[in-house]
Amino acid sequence: MSKRLTLVLGGARAGKSTYAQQLAASAERVLFVATAEAGDRDMEARIAAHQASRPAAWDTLEEPLDLVGSLAPVADRYDTVLLDCLTLWVSNLLLQGSEAEPVDIPEEVGRLLAAYEEGSASWVVVSNEVGLGVVPPTELGRRYADELGRANQIVAAAADDAYFMAAGLPLNLKALSRE
């Protein structure tokens, strides 16, 4: 089976991670890449729930910022890389930069996609769709929504498959775009 890039997109609690895990479950060797950091008790609980839901046979790489540097040396050891999630990675990058020297998010996403292209593993990338709600009231919130929206578009354009999750159900966006 040839490698594939799959984007699983949706709102909070839409079933993205569960569906992404189902997609990755058919692979023999899976690397789960976690970008979250436990900044508070709620996030600690969310991370623990995600950890408990993963098969014990999967390896985990926790990397909030340098995905390309961390994945490049190890990704080819796996059949599938499950990246959960692009949402928090973009947030982490955005907060790492400064007003004087902002991180170029589209450039970083391009580097990530180049790492996928150079490797042999299939990738499943999870991300939130934040563009369906209210426009954020703060400048940082609006910038984040803009940056994540652009990142999602870049990954979706490169993806072989893109699913939008709603109420735990996947909608194949690529199939719809071909009709």
CB 145 within 8 A of CB 135: yes
CB 46 within 8 A of CB 36: yes
Structure token pair of residue 72 = 């490049």
Q: Rg of the Cα trace of the chain?
A: 16
118 C-beta neighbours (distance < 10 Å), count: 11
The DSSP symbol for 122 reads: E
Of the residues 50, 143, 150, 174, only one is catalytic, namely: 50
Instruction: Clarify whether 23 is annotated catalytic.
Output: no
Which active-site residues does the annotation give?
50
